[in-house]
Amino acid sequence: MDTITKFKIRSSDVSYLSKEEAHFISEHSDIFIPVDDSKLCENCEYLYYDLDDKKESRFKFHSIENGDLFFDFKQQLEYHRKKNYSLSKEPLAKALGLTVKRDRIVWDVTCGTAKDALLIYSFGAKVVAFERHPIIYFLLLDAKERFSVNIDFIYGDSSQIDLSLLTRPDTIYYDPMYPEKKKSALPRKEMQIFKEIVGPDTDSENYLEFARKIATDRVVVKRSLHAPQIKTDINAVYEGKTTRYDMYKIF
Ligand SMILES: C[S@@+](CC[C@H](N)C(=O)[O-])C[C@H]1O[C@@H](n2cnc3c(N)ncnc32)[C@H](O)[C@@H]1O
């Protein structure tokens, strides 16, 4: 995300912003532009407050091709609670070192939809999650507004943030968006909108080196099962059905 893109927000919905959301929008007034209803159409992208169902009212991002994007933390966490995970059987929990110490500090440095962050949180870790895309970060703030979770969401590029103010993490979890080589089966709609908004991350090799200087115990990289490793000096690999977690230990 090198260039500043501007995003519309429906001006009639600004009154629904929480204090924290309003602060974020006003601090980034170069990115978020309030516009009248007359300037919105099916054929454009914008943030709006969906009042359809009073119980589930929330901000959504309307995309041109793929409909709406929003995050629902309650639904995600209820799903995880029902699963009643046994950590010693979960490849991600094992890769992160949570079977050794359940409540270790994990930084999810590529938060995205927060699905992984919420899974890691449900395992019992103390999670700090970073997101650099303004729309995605705004939707995370809104999801937290609707369902409170004890995760710190931090806006910005996690490799540029003033780390002196934070306790160093035991584990860094890194899940960049890899450029697509060829169009495979179409991913779910939510994933399509998400990909449309954030685009590929192209700095993974440098990022891994940076993360290895920050984490005190390990860095874990999520990859699809047969994708190449970012760096070959891996200490352990934990495989799931479709995903692999490459673990780089800090000595
Ligand atoms: C593949 S997605 C992560 C998906 C995530 N694990 C989930 O559960 O949805 C990558 C996300 O990380 C963000 N990102 C990539 N590099 C980042 C960085 N250096 N700092 C903060 N966010 C970053 C992107 O904007 C994108 O939202």
Residue with the larger pLDDT of the pair 52 and 251: 251
The answer to whether 174 touches 222, Cβ cutoff 8 Å, is yes
Residue among 132, 140, 204, 245 to mutate when testing ligand 1 (max atoms within 8 A of CB): 132
- What's the CA-to-centroid distance between 181 and ligand 1, angstroms? 19
Structure tokens at 251: 């000595």
Task: Report CA-CA distances (Å) from 157 to 81, 105, 109, 113, 121.
Answer: 31, 19, 8, 16, 21
Cα(247)–Cα(228) distance, integer angstroms: 14
* Residue-level pLDDT at 12: 93
* Residue-level pLDDT at 192: 84
pTM of the model: 0.94
Looking at the DSSP bridge assignments, the partners of residue 219 are 172, 248
Answer yes or no: is pLDDT of 33 > 90. Answer: yes
Structure tokens at 34: 């309030």
Task: Give residue-wise pLDDT tens across range 94-138.
Answer: 999 999 999 999 999 999 999 999 999 999 999 999 999 999 999
Answer yes or no: is pLDDT of 41 > 90. Answer: no
166 lines ligand 1 (CB under 6 A): no
Q: Which amino acid residue places its CA nearest to atom 1 of ligand 1?
A: 177
Task: Give residue-wise pLDDT tens across range 139-198.
Answer: 999 999 999 999 999 999 999 978 788 999 999 999 998 766 655 555 678 888 888 888
219: Cβ contacts below 8 Å, ≥ 6 apart: 171, 172, 173, 174, 208, 211, 212, 247, 248, 250
* Residue-level pLDDT at 54: 65
Per DSSP, the chain holds a count of helices (H) and strands (E) of: 7, 12
Q: Which of 29-38, 82-91, 192-201 has the lowest mean pLDDT?
A: 192-201
* Residue-level pLDDT at 116: 98
Residue among 71, 76, 111 to mutate when testing ligand 1 (max atoms within 8 A of CB): 111
Multiple choice CATH, 73-249, 3.75.10.20, 3.40.50.150, 3.40.50.720, 3.90.950.20: 3.40.50.150
Cα(56)–Cα(54) distance, integer angstroms: 6
**DSSP reduced 3-state for 34:** strand
- Looking up tokens 């359940």, which residue turns up? 102
The answer to whether 173 touches 222, Cβ cutoff 8 Å, is yes
Task: Give residue-wise pLDDT tens across range 119-130.
Answer: 999 999 999 999
* Residue-level pLDDT at 186: 58
Give domain limits for the chain. Answer: 7-69, 73-249
**Around Cβ 229, how many Cβ atoms within 10 Å?**
14
